[in-house]
Amino acid sequence: MDQNSPADGTSREDNDLPVRVGKMEDIKNSRRMNATVNGREIVVFYHKGKLHAMDKHCYHAGGPLHLGEIEDINGQACIICPWHKYKITLATGEGLYQAIDPKLPSALPKWRSKGVKQRIHTVTVKNGDIYVTLSDPSISCESDYYADKYKKPVHSSLNK
């Protein structure tokens, strides 16, 4: 076996390699699944025929995004954090909020972006299996705080 290939998806050195997290037939029924990829807890959503993966804990206060509802907001699919109702786009990880411009005569709220707050990851499907590749860790993202806080050990047993 090639030493650079993770046999079980737990290689610390190869965060850029895809890791199998489940099967398409399973997520089509459940619409979401939790997984741990190289120690990082993620959630994969299946919404309107597309797969999306992101850190499992909300960037704001660590809320459980896998328990949130998905809503279309301003033409974008968003997960709504069940703790504080923060809205996060599935495709980009942007936080959305409603704002008004008080200088305008009819100050109607409009959806605005806070920028990318939640780390998203690449999802691929091969032969019915779902794979997740973690995004580049050198680019900081606010959800990293909770991802690190809840990080799982990569190797659970030691040979001693």
Query: pTM to 2 decimals?
Result: 0.84
Q: What is the pLDDT along the chain (160 residues), one digit of tens a residue?
A: 333 333 334 444 567 899 999 999 999 999 999 999 999 999 999 999 999 999 999 999 999 999 999 999 999 999 999 999 999 999 999 999 999 888 888 778 899 999 999 999 999 999 999 999 999 999 999 999 999 998 887 754 444 4
Overall fold of domain 19-149? Rieske Iron-sulfur Protein (2.102.10)
Q: Are strands 129-133 and 76-80 parallel, antiparallel or unpaired?
A: unpaired
> Quick one: pLDDT at residue 49?
96
**Helix/strand/coil for 24:** helix
For the chain, give every domain's residue range.
Answer: 19-149
Q: Which residue has the tokens 């860790």?
A: 137
Parallel/antiparallel/unpaired status of strands 110-116 and 129-133? unpaired
Q: At a CB cut-off of 8 Å and minimum separation 6, what does 87 contact?
A: 71, 73, 78, 79, 80, 81, 95, 96, 97
* Gap between the terminal Cα atoms of the chain: 23
pLDDT of residue 101: 82
Burial (CB count within 10 angstroms: exposed 0-12, middle 13-18, buried 19+), residue 83: middle
